[in-house]
Amino acid sequence: MTTPAITVDALNKTFHTGPKQQVKALDNVTLSVDKGSCLAVVGESGSGKTTLARIIVGLETPDSGAVTVSGKPVAPRANRRELRRRARDIQMVFQDPQSSLNRRLSVRVAVDEVLKAHSHLNRAQRQVRCAELFTLVGLEPRFLDALPSELSGGQKQRVAIARALAADPAVIVLDESVAALDVTVQAQILELLASLRTSHGLTYLFITHDLSVVQMIADQVVVMRQGRIVERGTTAEVLTNPQHPYTQLLLACAPRPGWKPERGMIRKLREEIAS
């Protein structure tokens, strides 16, 4: 039996929002992701899915519980050496690529700085590798010297993916990485991600609120609500035969061709969830 790419064991996280107010972001969350697979974590805003992603990559510290990536524990308070090692195991692609790009510098710099930190390539070799990475994600190398403002949203997300690949990770966490793109560009990015997963043996943790993209990329689905996992299974099982009323509600509310809100059913599902 192979070691899972990601293992999450009994994670808990509470945020204090005021002197006497707190929000339970994660409540005893346990899951695993097999190597080379894609697990989609689905839920509405505030369900805890982004907090889960940030803890897995080490950007947040859990109150309790444990995370391992590629068989190595994710230390809650890592030193610089540990952070550098972790970056070679796991990378994250955010919803807004602009946040990870310096608007005053060319996008070449964004990719080159990762290569400089995580490879032994000299400057000339890094320039060649930057061009290779751009080609890999479907961008012409001529865009290397462009500023972020000169690129479209889809192009900037491709740069963000190239930047993640520059560290040569085994695992990539994608946090709403196609949510800000129009439908056509979404499909192109999802097709790119599927191709890269096959060609590079990557493992994905795909965070989304959009069930329509799940069936295009995920093997397994976890549904979260109020910090808890309420349903899990294969993509086909969850999307065609959902068991939990909350999953049924998400599917009932998902727009699709010819879709009309079934207000009576939606109201009934909301009442079941509330009870």
Average pLDDT by stretches of 10, the chain with 275 residues = 88 88 93 96 92 91 92 76 78 85 91 92 95 95 94 93 94 90 88 93 93 89 95 94 89 65 58 62
Q: What is the pLDDT of residue 179?
A: 83
Q: What is the pLDDT of residue 16?
A: 85
Q: What is the pLDDT of residue 273?
A: 64
Measure the N-to-C terminal CA separation of the chain; round to a whole number of Å: 41
Q: What is the pLDDT of residue 255?
A: 62
Distance between CA 208 and CA 144 in Å, rounded? 29
Delimit the CATH 3.40.50.300 region(s) of the chain. Answer: 6-241
Q: What is the pLDDT of residue 99?
A: 79
Q: What is the pLDDT of residue 249?
A: 85
Q: What is the pLDDT of residue 225?
A: 93
Distance between CA 131 and CA 37 in Å, rounded? 28
CATH architecture of 6-241: 3-Layer(aba) Sandwich (3.40)
Q: DSSP letter string over 121-165? A: --HHHHHHHHHHHHHHTT--GGGGG--GGGS-HHHHHHHHHHHHH
Distance between CA 31 and CA 10 in Å, rounded? 9
Q: What is the pLDDT of residue 151?
A: 93
For CA atoms 196, 198, 199, 205, the dihedral sign is positive
Rg of the chain over CA atoms, in angstroms?
19
CB count, 10 Å around CB of 11? 24
> From edge to edge, which strands make up the β-sheet containing 21-33?
21-33, 6-18, 64-69, 72-73
Report the predicted TM-score, pTM, of the whole model to 2 decimal places. Answer: 0.89
